[in-house]
Amino acid sequence: MPFDSDDVRCGLACGPGPDGRWRGWYDVRVRAEALRRLGLHPDQPTSAVTGPSPPGWWHAAAERAAR
């Protein structure tokens, strides 16, 4: 695994939801330094949306091609 044992922290919170049923939420945190070692950081151009989404026909064509 590319991370050291202290680079990743996982947590779990439990509680009742709006409907009264119990739910669980996972929280996964990775140190910024560990992501930078892999070339991932918030300053890279691909970490943010840079333009509009492709048109609907493009998504439909991609889904047909995937089948």
How do residues 25-54 score in pLDDT, each as one tens digit?
999 998 888 888 888 876 776 666 778 888
Q: Indicate whether 55 pLDDT > 70.
A: yes
* Secondary structure string (H, E, C) spanning the chain: CCCCCCCEEEEEEEEECCCCCEEEEEEEEECHHHHHHCCCCCCCHHHCCCCCCCCHHHHHHHHHHHC
The mean of the pLDDT values for the chain is 85
pLDDT for res 1: 60
pLDDT range class, residue 20, cuts 50, 70, 90: very high
All structural domains of the chain with their residue ranges: 1-42
pLDDT for res 22: 94
